[in-house]
Amino acid sequence: MLRAMTKSRFQEEVLRIMDRKHHWAWPAFADGTVGVQQLKQHFQQEYGVYVRDFPVFLARIHGQNPPPAVRRMLAENIYEEDTGGLSLGKSHPELFLTMMAGLGFSNRDFDAIRLLPAARRYRAWLDRVSGHRDWVVGAAALTVFVEGSVKDRKELAEPSKPRSAEDIESVIRDHPLVKHHGLSPDSMDLIRAHQMVEAGHRHDAYNMVVNYAVTRSQQRAVIACLTTCLTLWQGYRNAVAKACGLTKRR
């Protein structure tokens, strides 16, 4: 029987997967290359795949009855996502739609979204894995992968500190939607909420997974889950890029 990896080795294996959570089309969304209608397609897919129902995913994991310390972390995350009770008093999906309204999109634009086939596959996987019989696998998918990014390694090495109001407004001013698309900072409370609650958030996610996937089989299940997440996410982002008319330069 193979022994479990050490926590440091296991975390490194997870980070190697997250190091690859980068997509070639991101610069086009960050530098103003894409137009507003392309942004609409992008945001509709994001909303339908995970933004609208993210607290539901977390609640499924919480419902698997993990240890008390994990339940607390999940409960705080659910509370903030569904109510904004730790930041601005509005749910994150609601704040997302406020941001969309600032771009000229109505709530109706997000009522009945037709997901791209690759988006449906990624969403179906998130539905499936969030109800996994071992909560730690679902937690890896949602709190490490979905909420995480290619910046996770740096964040774990140099944790973000709580930001002042001035710091947050600086982030807002530099946001691509404000800089390149003229979105009013008044519509950016979703980003403000993220900035208010993000400090230490990545550490919580990794602690939840690394400290509780204690057997070799659990660790292998987590790595397999994250690998599947990455594959489906890349396919999903490729499909969105294609729908937006973007092509990868050779």
Q: What is the mean pLDDT of residues 173-177?
A: 96
pLDDT of residue 221: 97
CA separation for the pair 112, 21 (Å, rounded): 28
pLDDT of residue 248: 86
pLDDT tens, position by position, 48-90: 999 999 999 999 999 999 999 999 999 999 999 999 999 999 9
Q: What is the mean pLDDT of residues 156-172?
A: 90
Domain that holds residue 192: 7-212
Q: With cut-offs at 50, 70 and 90, classify the pLDDT of residue 15.
A: very high
Q: Is residue 64 part of a domain?
A: yes
CA separation for the pair 158, 191 (Å, rounded): 21
Q: Is residue 189 part of a domain?
A: yes
Q: Is residue 245 part of a domain?
A: no
pLDDT of residue 1: 62
Q: Is the pLDDT of residue 47 over 70?
A: yes
**By C-alpha distance, which of 26, 30, 74 is closest to 54?**
74
Q: What is the mean pLDDT of residues 196-204?
A: 85
CATH code of 75's domain: 1.20.910.10
Q: Is residue 223 part of a domain?
A: no
Q: Is residue 200 part of a domain?
A: yes
Q: Answer for the pair 110, 100: CB distance below 8 angstroms, yes or no.
A: yes
**By C-alpha distance, which of 181, 234, 166 is closest to 20?**
234
Radius of gyration over alpha carbons of the chain, in Å? Answer: 18
Question: What residue type is 236 in one-letter code?
Answer: Y
Q: Is the pLDDT of residue 201 over 90?
A: no
Average pLDDT, the chain: 95
Q: Is residue 238 part of a domain?
A: no
Looking at the structure of the chain, the number of domains it has is 1
Take residue 250 and report the two structure tokens written for it: 């050779």
Q: Is residue 103 part of a domain?
A: yes
Residue 76 CB-density burial (10 A; 0-12 exposed, 13-18 middle, 19+ buried): middle
Q: Is residue 232 part of a domain?
A: no
Q: What is the mean pLDDT of residues 107-123?
A: 96
Q: Is the pLDDT of residue 40 over 70?
A: yes
